[in-house]
Amino acid sequence: MFRPRSKPRLILFAVVFLAGASCFGQAKSDTETSSVSAKNTPAKSKTVFRDSDGNLISNNEFVDIRMANPSYRDATIVRTLDDGTIEFRLQKVPQEGETPWSFSLRSVNGLEFDADKLKGKVVVLNFWFIGCPPCMAEIPRLNDLKQEFSANNDVVFVALTADDEHAVKKFLEHEKFDYNVVADSKPTLDSFRFAGYPKNIVIGKDGKIVYWRSTIHAWEKFESVIKAELEK
């Protein structure tokens, strides 16, 4: 995960993210190893992950929520249950449920996107910039996601970058990015008050944020949120 240095605040979060992801992966691996090596013992420990509402979630979704706001103090609650299960319970992602500032955008292809006029549609946002390796790495998966909903006019995919339009158009000449790409969008990006790139957001039909993540591991969750909002 990146913060831009010459644009909105650049520091490299990839190392932090990978360390965190490997840490969670190691926790799972350790559990699995202990289960194998403890065949002759009466109890086997396991690890479960829950969101702020107590719902069971996958390891990947656990990582995504933990890294949704990398600059926030982590408030995950860890406890050992009576049967030896280690339970991780996450805090709520604070941006979810909020209504973002109104915005009016124009893509490099000349399409207009106004927040007020998008009410009643599901809006999927991506924040990125050209010099961000994690942003580049996820673009093919974002293209696949958009393709999944290509026949549905009730969902709109928009990618915002503070890079200037000339640089973005040059980038798009040799790189495929199927979102509606908006350049020179620093004021709108700043209005979301976020830290680190990339950022992936879903705004529901009621205009409220229902999904706020950074780098994505649980793509099936990302897709399911969009589908759930389209059904409302």
Residue 71 lies in a domain: yes
Kindly give the parts of the chain with pLDDT less than 70: 1-44
Tokens of 73: 């103090």
Residue 40 lies in a domain: yes
> Same domain for 146 and 212?
yes
- In the chain, the amino acid numbered 219 is W
Tell me, what's the pLDDT at 35? 35
Tell me, what's the pLDDT at 65? 96
- CATH number, domain with residue 221: 3.40.30.10
What are the tens digits of pLDDT across the range 211-224?
999 999 999 999 99
Residue 8 lies in a domain: no
> Same domain for 85 and 115?
no
Would you call 185 exposed, middle or buried from its count of C-beta atoms within 10 A (0-12, 13-18, 19+)?
A: buried
> Same domain for 144 and 224?
yes
> CB-hemisphere CA count at 13 Å for 225?
21
> Same domain for 76 and 145?
no
> Same domain for 81 and 114?
no
Tokens of 10: 């650049």
> Same domain for 80 and 121?
no
Tell me, what's the pLDDT at 45? 73
> Same domain for 25 and 57?
yes
pTM of the model: 0.81
